[in-house]
Amino acid sequence: MKELKYKRILLKLSGEALMGDQPYGLDSKMIDQVASEIKEVSELGVEIAVVIGGGNIFRGLAASAKGMDRVSADHMGMLATVINSLALQDALEKLGLFTRVMSAIKMEQVAEPFIRRRAVRHMEKRRIVIFAAGTGNPYFTTDTAASLRAIEIEADVILKGTRVDGVYDSDPEKNKDAFKFDTISYLEVVKKGLNVMDATAVTLCMENKLPILVFNLKTRGNLKKVIQGEVIGTRVQ
């Protein structure tokens, strides 16, 4: 068996990644695929945490732009991430994995409250920990939540699963001549305004020397390849 490059990871998924080819909501086939990829990596002995966005259901920033109160809109977006987290939890448990959803907003009937030491203990026991409800605060994205949680649990890397195979200088789905970076610095990402993670999230990673690896989640087996050190996607460092 290949040696593992990372022993503890935080996997960041956008809500859109769970839509599959649908324009909205959850695609059960895509969720099942993500769950099977996570299982494959978990069986290698990797400790896994997950943060999922909520953009496939509700995007607070977009609602705010249309006149809704920003704080209310962001709280609705946080609840959307809880829906996605519960959907992934269900898919993982159907595959026989043990999981915990930990929410930044207290809702004891459906999720544990986020407590750092408890989260780390779950991971040490090989449970998949899904962090829901962002940071629990408005004005912060799930990208920032992913960076914050990854630093708190001392993850080796943030793996950002997207619909494209890395970081480009423009949208590769719209521009066939878009240039792909194999590696790029945190500062370049911020200066160029590249759509990797928002500036707060990237700055947090930079200050704590936490690498971000952006890869195509839709390609089966990519998550395992990343864990085993194969050079795919783009590394932000």
> Does residue 34 sit within a domain?
yes
The reply to whether 142 falls in a domain is yes
What's the rounded Cα separation, in Å, for the pair 99 and 228?
Answer: 23
pLDDT, tens digit (0-9, with 9 covering 90-100), for 149-164: 999 999 999 999 988 8
Q: Which domain holds residue 207?
A: 8-236
Name the pTM for this structure. 0.94
Residues of the chain with pLDDT > 90, as a percent, come to: 76
- In a domain, residue 3? The reply is no
* Any domain includes 143: yes
Tell me, yes or no, whether 35 lies in a domain. Answer: yes
What was the pLDDT predicted at 86? 97
Q: Is residue 146 part of a domain?
A: yes
pLDDT tens for each residue of 72-96: 999 999 999 999 999 999 999 999 9
Domain count, the chain: 1
Q: Over 70: is that where the pLDDT of 1 sits?
A: no
Selection from 24, 25, 49, 27 nearest residue 38 by Cα: 49
Structural domain includes residue 192: yes
Dihedral angle of Cα 219, 129, 59, 35, to the nearest 10 degrees: 30
Q: Residue 58 above 70 pLDDT?
A: yes
Task: List CB contacts of 209: < 8 A, sequence separation 6 or more.
Answer: none
pLDDT in tens, 4-45: 899 999 999 998 888 888 888 999 999 999 999 999 999 999
Q: What is the mean pLDDT of residues 186-200?
A: 91
Is 84 part of a structural domain of the chain?
yes
pLDDT mean across residues, the chain: 93
CATH assignment at residue 203: 3.40.1160.10
Mean pLDDT value of segment 47-74: 90
**What are residue 176's phi and psi, to 5 degrees?**
-70, -15
Q: What is the radius of gyration, based on Cα positions, of the chain?
A: 17
Instruction: Decide if 9 contacts 30 (C-beta within 8 A).
Output: no
